[in-house]
């Protein structure tokens, strides 16, 4: 257990045993002057018609390890046949007052992930409620038939190992799907024809939900026999850091294990999800530096980190492999996490778009310059009893994957050219004898820029996508005036943009930025600003702020709806 874990866990247990009135919170209610956690994230916009609502489960409780995995049955609405203009997944949580850790929750239909996120820590004296929504229209093909479902939320109370067996926070969860029928003369965006999960066998005839990768060589791998008319293919990926890797963005190189006292993890601060098809590199998914409310608890009252409650999947374009995937042979898609240091939880869903006018297509991969990462690491440190300086890790790659497929409407060529960039800097000032002074400033930025060129008889389409998720964390120990004996200041910024050009004309554009900052240095304060807009979607902007763990401001624009189409953000 690293220094941060020891300090925080010891403080949590002490607070529990002393029965203090410290508040841990999350609520979608933006109530001024309260400690309920709020977010600036928008709700999913709905069409004007009334939806057909399908309950998935109601008031499932999660109190003990034995409650971790619970099942339900899904059936599409009998009185609301597709096609559907939009499908919205909504999950509602409540937690009784008390003391509990933050937990991971995920929901699946036929082993395909619909939701993946974490819970906040509970209020001390009030029942806490919150809701998360997702636009799952892209998964309509999965929802056309009855399917078994699963919710996973590992929690414990009296069955926790000592000294945590006095934890008493219990989660109650309900979820449903809203189906909005297509309106007459209203164009619908294309959705996947086939949706398939990657699954990891658990050795007992079932699968792990989510999958678990403990080392860089572990894989989430599935062999598929796919339709022979695949025209486009995509992979939605979520990789959640856990255990030693929970704060992977602050890890040290392994040769510095003797001074690696704050976060305790190795393999440097570079992580990345690698995607392969039949063993050859097929794409990458950047690892998002999500921050959970258990680190550092008082910093995240009332505003949690960016996407803490709802992880946004990263979509990998596998379309250059469409011809290969359509050849009637089995193909293996696998994911691994570069520099995994125990461990990551993963989910991945394969989305296939088929050539409806053909039962069989052909094609091939014509270019693939993607190679495994090889980050450069530099250590600029001085001193022995007191060590100061910086540790840096950098990774820069440019690569292109291209392929073609012969379809019923001609030959379509897809080239995906991407530039991956990672920069990590750890600035430290450590007492390496007594570890009585531990100052570590972490600055990490992960970005990926992509230009996809699709050419065929119907013209040329250019798709420009940019993803960026920087984080800075400044941790100082000891701080005698702090509840936990240390202070942390954190800043995150998530950016995702997409431009679509058809034959030189801008057809669509979308942009999301989500900025969060929080500090418990001196006066505790936090803020979030969420902005999204696009060529065919309304502008949305919401800013919220807090001081001393109470909500102090909410911009009037927070009440406006944002436009988020299927698969957005990517």
Decide if 334 is inside a domain. yes
Beta strands in 318-458 (DSSP E): 331-338, 344-354, 362-368, 376-382, 386-407, 410-431, 438-456
The model's pLDDT over 317-368, given as tens digits with 9 standing for 90+, comes to 999 999 999 999 999 999 999 999 999 999 999 999 999 999 999 999 999 9
Decide if 136 is inside a domain. yes
Query: If pLDDT is split at 50, 70 and 90, which confidence band does 6 have?
Result: very low
Residue 138 has pLDDT above 50, yes or no: yes
The model's pLDDT over 491-513, given as tens digits with 9 standing for 90+, comes to 999 999 999 999 999 999 999 99
Positive or negative: CA dihedral 194, 197, 203, 209: negative
Residue 12 has pLDDT above 50, yes or no: no
3-state secondary structure of 103: coil
**What is the arithmetic mean of pLDDT over 224-247?**
98
Decide if 229 is inside a domain. yes
Element (H or E) spanning 13, and its range? helix 3-18
Q: What does residue 3 show for φ and ψ, rounded to 5 degrees?
A: -60, -40
Query: If pLDDT is split at 50, 70 and 90, which confidence band does 55 have?
Result: very high
In the chain, % of residues over pLDDT 70: 93
Q: What does residue 113 show for φ and ψ, rounded to 5 degrees?
A: -75, 130
Residue range of the domain that includes 361: 3-559
Residue 25 has pLDDT above 80, yes or no: no
In the chain, % of residues over pLDDT 90: 80
Decide if 140 is inside a domain. yes
Decide if 570 is inside a domain. no
The model's pLDDT over 366-394, given as tens digits with 9 standing for 90+, comes to 999 999 999 999 999 999 999 999 999 99
More confident residue, 558 or 148: 148
Average pLDDT across the chain, whole number: 91
Cβ distance 178 to 56 under 8 Å?
A: no
The model's pLDDT over 422-446, given as tens digits with 9 standing for 90+, comes to 999 999 999 999 889 999 999 999 9
pLDDT at 11: 39
Determine the Cα–Cα distance for residues 333 and 137; give it in Å rounded to an integer. Answer: 24
Cβ distance 133 to 50 under 8 Å?
A: no
**What is the arithmetic mean of pLDDT over 67-74?**
98
**What is the arithmetic mean of pLDDT over 285-305?**
92
Cβ distance 438 to 422 under 8 Å?
A: no
Task: Using DSSP bridges, classify how beta strands 84-95 and 171-181 pair: parallel, antiparallel or unpaired.
Answer: antiparallel
Largest CA distance in the chain: 74
Cβ neighbours for 388, distance < 8 A, ≥ 6 positions apart: 381, 382, 428, 429, 430
Decide if 565 is inside a domain. no
More confident residue, 421 or 125: 421
- Nearest CA-CA partner of 168 in 178, 152, 151, 156: 156
Residue 566 has pLDDT above 80, yes or no: no
pLDDT at 30: 85
Determine the Cα–Cα distance for residues 255 and 244; give it in Å rounded to an integer. Answer: 17
Decide if 144 is inside a domain. yes
pLDDT at 171: 97
Positive or negative: CA dihedral 449, 191, 565, 527: negative
Residue 203 has pLDDT above 90, yes or no: yes
Residue 21 has pLDDT above 60, yes or no: no
pLDDT at 537: 85
Decide if 566 is inside a domain. no
Residue in the block written with tokens 């024809």: 193
Query: If pLDDT is split at 50, 70 and 90, which confidence band does 297 have?
Result: confident
Domain total in the chain:
1
Determine the Cα–Cα distance for residues 353 and 528; give it in Å rounded to an integer. Answer: 37
Query: If pLDDT is split at 50, 70 and 90, which confidence band does 4 have?
Result: low
More confident residue, 28 or 279: 279
Residue 123 has pLDDT above 90, yes or no: no
* pTM, 2 dp: 0.93
Burial of 122 (0-12, 13-18, 19+ CB in 10 A): buried
């Amino acid at each position: 257990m690293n220094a941060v874990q020891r300090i925080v866990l010891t403080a949590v247990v002490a607070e529990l045993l002393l029965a203090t009135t410290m508040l841990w919170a999350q609520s979608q209610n933006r109530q001024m002057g309260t400690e309920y956690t709020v977010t600036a994230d928008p709700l999913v916009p709905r069409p004007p018609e009334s939806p057909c609502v399908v309950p998935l489960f109601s008031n499932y409780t999660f109190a003990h390890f034995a409650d971790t995995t619970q099942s339900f049955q899904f059936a599409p609405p009998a009185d609301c046949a597709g096609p559907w203009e939009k499908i919205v997944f909504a999950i509602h949580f409540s937690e009784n007052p008390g003391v509990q850790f933050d937990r991971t929750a995920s929901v699946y239909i036929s082993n395909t992930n619909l939701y993946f996120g974490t819970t906040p820590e509970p209020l001390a004296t009030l029942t806490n409620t919150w809701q998360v929504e997702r636009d799952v229209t892209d998964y309509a093909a999965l929802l056309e038939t009855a399917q078994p479902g699963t919710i996973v939320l590992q929690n414990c109370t009296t069955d926790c190992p000592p000294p945590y067996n006095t934890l008493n926070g219990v989660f109650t969860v309900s979820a449903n799907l809203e189906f909005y029928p297509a309106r007459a003369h209203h164009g619908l965006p294309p959705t996947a024809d086939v949706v398939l999960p990657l699954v990891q066998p658990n050795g007992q005839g079932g699968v792990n939900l989510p999958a678990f990768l403990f080392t860089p060589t572990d894989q989430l791998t599935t062999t598929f026999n796919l339709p022979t008319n695949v025209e486009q293919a995509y992979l939605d990926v979520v990789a959640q850091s856990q255990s030693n890797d929970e704060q992977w963005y602050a890890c040290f190189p392994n040769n510095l294990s003797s001074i690696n006292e704050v976060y305790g993890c190795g393999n440097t601060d570079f992580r990345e999800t690698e995607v392969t098809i039949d063993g050859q590199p097929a794409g990458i998914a950047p690892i998002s530096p999500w921050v959970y409310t258990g680190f550092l608890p008082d910093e995240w009252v009332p505003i949690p980190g960016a996407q803490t409650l709802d992880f946004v999947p990263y979509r990998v374009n596998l379309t250059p492999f469409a011809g290969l995937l359509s050849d009637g042979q089995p193909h293996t898609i696998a994911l691994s996490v570069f520099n995994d240091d125990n461990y990551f939880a993963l989910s991945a869903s394969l989305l296939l778009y088929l050539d409806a006018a053909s039962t069989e297509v052909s094609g091939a991969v014509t270019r693939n310059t993607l190679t495994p990462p090889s980050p450069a690491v530099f250590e600029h440190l001085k001193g022995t009893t007191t060590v100061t300086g910086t540790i840096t890790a950098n990774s820069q790659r440019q690569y292109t994957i291209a392929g073609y497929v012969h379809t019923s409407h001609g030959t379509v060529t897809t080239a995906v050219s991407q530039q991956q960039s990672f920069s990590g800097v750890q600035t430290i000032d450590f007492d390496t004898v007594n570890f009585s002074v531990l100052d570590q400033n972490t600055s990490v930025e992960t970005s990926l820029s992509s230009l996809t060129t699709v050419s065929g008889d119907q013209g040329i389409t250019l798709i420009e996508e940019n993803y960026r998720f920087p984080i800075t964390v400044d941790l100082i120990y000891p701080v005698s005036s702090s509840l936990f004996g240390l202070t942390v200041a954190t800043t995150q910024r998530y950016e995702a943009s997409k431009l679509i050009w058809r034959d030189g004309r801008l057809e669509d554009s979308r942009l999301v930025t989500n900025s969060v900052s929080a500090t418990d240095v001196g006066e505790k304060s936090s803020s979030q600003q969420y902005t999204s807009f696009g060529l065919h979607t309304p502008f949305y902007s919401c800013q919220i702020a807090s001081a001393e763990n109470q909500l102090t401001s909410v911009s009037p624009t927070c009440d406006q709806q944002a436009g988020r189409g299927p698969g957005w953000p990517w």
